[in-house]
Structure 1
């Protein structure tokens, strides 16, 4: 039998009506499928994101690409082949200048402030060598739509060329070029600034007491490894290679699920405070919309099961696989947090929030559209470092790319980036996808002839959990109200309790048993109360039952004062109430969980949770009625004298028992049981709200 950690459990919510889109502001254009992930292995989630899914907390969603207003294309980047552009280098240099010298962007004397603030999204220097740039419109924060730059008209080009030629002639007439005498052969040749800096650095290391041979080997190794070209790691590690820095930036990776990690517990409140300031300042949310519960539901809760680093199934990543928070700590203070998932083949970026007072570290003198650049670069470098431990881990997933959204432009600037085709689920270079997306928001990205290799999965290879029973999908499809044979349904209903009470995770199981004893004591206490106070009609019903039973027994020639005493009747009734209360505890807890999720998740992934709760309740009770119909399907009538005799005997018995089980008896008994079941359901549901919001989250 497979281990409990080898499979995931999800609850399908399906797709509903359209919802408001946060990108184009369409009131009902956002359409997606959704499901609640109770538990997922890292391989489960890797497979999901490779099919266009994303998670938000434990809620997983996938936009219906051919129906939604703004198609979301999954985007990833080949971290090992990443090539920096000028904007990336400038951002890191500005941050390094602040860390090493304490100089913020714009504080250097003589710097052209206005020129430094010009930040085109795509310029000639930003494109890696050998690539053809795609010119896109300049965007600014808050602008929803932009237009691509149209090529200049021929007459405009003619005027420009005439102006240029005139200006060149004017400059030639004003300036006369002098012939130089050349370099002085008696003086040493000019040295490059790079060589001078390297020599000064060597002198500092030698003055600090470093071994001369060790210093030479260090510089020689650096020159050989980079071949004269600085890598991403070289830029990011520059402050750590400097002896004295004005500020210290430290990056810590802390496991967030499960939450028992000491560093995560100790930094939890500080991290949430940064999140609250970010949401209120950047996204203009109310304080109630970014409280502690929202923070936990959105960025702390995760369905991913922890996979230890020594597990060789996915390589040997020392910190293991799962969900993590990456803390950016400046001089001992958390200034930013990156929420990431470490998966078998990639690092998936979930969310990034930072302290607004330190936004200049991410923004520099650029616009808000570049706010993730620095942190994305560090996550790319982190992906490259993990690849040294696990060669299968080599991609950096940036979530969704929406071609019509200007705020998504920066994602396409990380080269080489790939987009997921929504029809074949194959990866295509973004350079080849842009022309198609310029014409249509939704488009097949893969070339003709490419097919989805994982499209057809046999039903017998799909395993589902139905009513807490693990079964094959083929068997599940046979469980319907029209089925003639209801044995499978009966078996599931009977084994449901057995499977539940045999499960290893017994937190709720213990609650059910405890509530059974609680309801026993409660029922005995209620039955002791005088009938005149509660007025259930239970004692008059019992009196009527006792007199009718005594009369019936005398007709049979049996001398008896009644089959049961009042005390025995109340004890049996209390035991029945205890068992009923225990059985109602589990569905009561489940019902409380649904309502608690509805309260916590007002809108998540642009999905209406109020509609979701209604759909779940409808499906739940519909499923129950279907099961009941299947259980009580009429069986074929037998024929013969035996059936006739049995029918006659049953008719005689019922006619005589009418005086025993009178309407007064039924009214009293069912009146009490109805009240009792309502009380038990309300009690278990109310306790469930407290249990899941306080106890189960500890």
Structure 2
């Protein structure tokens, strides 16, 4: 209980810090202090001057009359018009009115505060290990994941409420079916090949849940069957894959556009491509024959033992997830600028087209790029936030350690053993029945259960992240959409 009180103190301190730092925002700093610049659309007078449209005073008066009635002046200009857009730095006053700005600031800042709480909790529990207390930092992590899921769901919902998004709506439906099929195929793979831990988690949950029901005097054959639980896992995985589809396509597009900045420079594109491929490396880390077997089992010639221990491999896997997310976050301003440059690229493509376009449509084509900046930022950051905090919960609730690469840690005591001990100790009359039921219920969710749930969640988020971005890059490579 003392440790739980210390965690409450940490939480209260962090809440007070959040209140005092309310005027400072890391999310706003990412958009407005990283030298991002936006493109300004040409005014009507500039378009008329470039297109040679005569400025008739009578029509101008009529136009002003129409504008006062809520009807802006409309005229046509050639699509091949040579327009060089002016730029302006992105300021807080510019972004505060953008769509989904509030959601963007909330999720980024809250994720940062959660990371601070998690680090403080990890430092404290490393000195004073938890016994039967619950790690309160997990509540913060769960909230971050839920908020990220809600935001991605809100973004995807736009495709189903808009009448102009028929293609996107069909893509979401197809993506759900494809990811559902892939998830069901993944869940039947043996743990000897893909160690997501679902099967050991179910075995542990089934055994302890059956004991819990027996202790409560309930007649039952046990919890739901493995097939039903795996089906629900597959449905959840399909939903995550669907929510990651358009963010993945967007990230791939920004990566493709970012490569244009460096020209003959070979080092920076190599770093960008390596960072883009890191999710694929993360996916392989859960494939036992490819990674764990070679690093922790196989003894190479000239060596007396494997390259690393099993604990060191688990720690390496977690560190690489965190490192990949941090690197992606560091590259976020460069990727967002590549998106903003789409305004000029749209005009460059339009120059090759014949015909004419209205001034309103041309200005909307340019202004819409900046208008959706926060939407694109959410598409970029929400998937990596989910991957990060799934991995953090996987580490903490799964009983792993950050120091496994430096020295061997003691084996985590199985929660099921504790459950049996508690049950035997309270057979006599000393503790009320309600407390007994609560303790037994808590012991149903063992370390193996957490490892299976969050191991699969972490791996699937990385896999969906990799698959959607890879499909987007393949689309850019073969179709060269500008």
- Asked if TM exceeds 0.5, the reply is no
Which of these two proteins has the greater Rg computed from alpha carbons?
1
TM-score (norm 2): 0.41
TM-score (norm 1): 0.30
Larger strand share, 1 or 2:
1
